Amino acid sequence: MGKKVNLSKFIRNNRKYDIKTNPVDVILGRITKSFFNEAQQREINQVEDIIERELNEDFTIGGHPKYDELLSKVKSYKDFSVYRVSDVKLCSIFVDLRNFTKRALFIDSANVETIDDIANLKQKAISTWIKLARYYDGHIHSITGDGLMVLMDKLYEEDEEWTIGARSLLFSLRVLESADILNDYLKEFLKEKGKEQYANNPENLINIKIGIEYSPKTLMNPQGVIVNDKGENKAVGEVKATSFEIDFSAKMLSKYKEALNGLNDNDAKNNRLILFGNQYKELMQFLDSEIEVKKVDSYKRTMYDVTETRDIYSLDTKPIKRNIFTIEDVADICDVEEQNEDFARASVIALQDSGEIKHGN
């Protein structure tokens, strides 16, 4: 049974989701405007403007801008359990650079990369992902070692929940594509070092792991300690997103190698897979005729004499990478239906009349 998704309303209030220019190409300088017609050049300019605007705005990494004020209200330890917001609907996306710890292990013995080279490569990747997260209206909840965690929630309260998952997919696809481009840079680096032979082994190149889960009942809660600053109690810490699904988006990446081994073709296997759980699968309703979703394994735990099981799935993005550019393209591979256009138009007018303004537009 298809979900009713009002994409007309969503796109009219978020025009960038109808742009077909790939933001990865703009961020990593893969576009030369002279090769495009006037309409395409305007789109490229739009993407450049969006990225510049997002990076010029004051934004933070950590917590969540919609809920960070909760921490400012905490004046005593009991307040940590008072100032909370429950049942927040969002997607948690965990992105991890595979084998970067191993790369650092061989800086002396292999004599190929220096620690500065590895740090520069990691910075290039992380900064690209942050720009992509901002482009798709995501919030960087944390930078964790060799990766980052991104939260996607509704842009408007009236938005369909499916659009959260669709934006998460668009972001994840662009991250995987960015890894392919960064590998081109890495191959050029190896060539300049006289080590071109190492570029033929995928183990020497960048490989990205991505896990997504939809969390329909997330708790946004302040965490930290109370300090006394010039006679005034204040909390030092940050607001965290708490739910099983939040942690699960990272935990499922332990099954990445198993999912990678399940790919049954001889093409390059790096930077193709997205792992996700039951909740995201149910939210998106991917069409079997359009894209292959495989069950990788089950996550099973027992506590208080109760056993809970969650499935882990993989999606091979090979057929859709470099193809999906708009949220309507995502809808084409999912069991969703556009709502009536008249209803959509009325909803847009009502939303505009309310004066609600979305961050980033």
- What does the pLDDT look like over 19-54, one tens digit per residue? 998 999 989 888 776 667 788 888 888 888 888 888
5-9, 139-143, 159-163, 302-306 — which is least confidently predicted?
Answer: 5-9
* pLDDT score at 339: 58
Q: CA 125, CA 291: separation in Å to the nearest integer?
A: 27
Q: CA 25, CA 263: separation in Å to the nearest integer?
A: 27
pLDDT band per the 50, 70, 90 thresholds, residue 354: very low
* pLDDT score at 102: 83
Q: Per-residue pLDDT for 1 more than 60?
A: no
* pLDDT score at 219: 95
Both tokens of 81, joined, read 């359990």
Q: Per-residue pLDDT for 359 more than 80?
A: no
DSSP-assigned beta bridge partners for residue 88: 218
* pLDDT score at 135: 94
Number of helices and strands (H, E) in the chain? 12, 10
DSSP assignments along 250-273, one per residue: HHGGGGHHHHHHT--SSS--TT-E
Residue listed under structure tokens 């510049």: 52
CB-CB neighbours of 141 under 10 Å: 24
DSSP-assigned beta bridge partners for residue 209: 96
* pLDDT score at 79: 93
Mention every residue, 6+ apart, whose C-beta is less than 8 A from residue 99. 203, 207
* pLDDT score at 34: 66
Which segments of 136-268 does DSSP mark as H helices, in order?
161-192, 244-251, 256-261
Strands (E), 13-110: 85-97
* pLDDT score at 3: 58
Whether this model's pTM surpasses 0.85: yes
Contact 226, 234 (CB under 8 A): yes
* pLDDT score at 357: 39
pLDDT band per the 50, 70, 90 thresholds, residue 60: confident
98-112, 125-139, 250-264 — which is least confidently predicted?
Answer: 98-112
For the segment 241-249, the average pLDDT, to the nearest whole number, is 93
Closest residue by Cα to residue 99 from 147, 159, 47, 148: 147
Q: CA 227, CA 208: separation in Å to the nearest integer?
A: 40
Q: Per-residue pLDDT for 350 more than 50?
A: no
For the segment 56-81, the average pLDDT, to the nearest whole number, is 89
Strands 208-229 and 232-242: antiparallel
- Percent helix / strand / coil, the chain, rounded to 5: 45, 25, 30
Q: Per-residue pLDDT for 213 more than 90?
A: yes
Contact 64, 139 (CB under 8 A): yes
Contact 250, 211 (CB under 8 A): yes
CA 355 vs CA 154, 158, 343, 352: distances in Å: 17, 13, 19, 5
Closest residue by Cα to residue 88 from 284, 276, 221, 224: 221
Q: CA 262, CA 272: separation in Å to the nearest integer?
A: 12
pLDDT band per the 50, 70, 90 thresholds, residue 268: confident
Per-chain mean pLDDT for the chain: 86
Tell me the three state secondary structure of residue 97.
strand
pLDDT band per the 50, 70, 90 thresholds, residue 4: low
7-21, 94-108, 122-136 — which is least confidently predicted?
Answer: 94-108
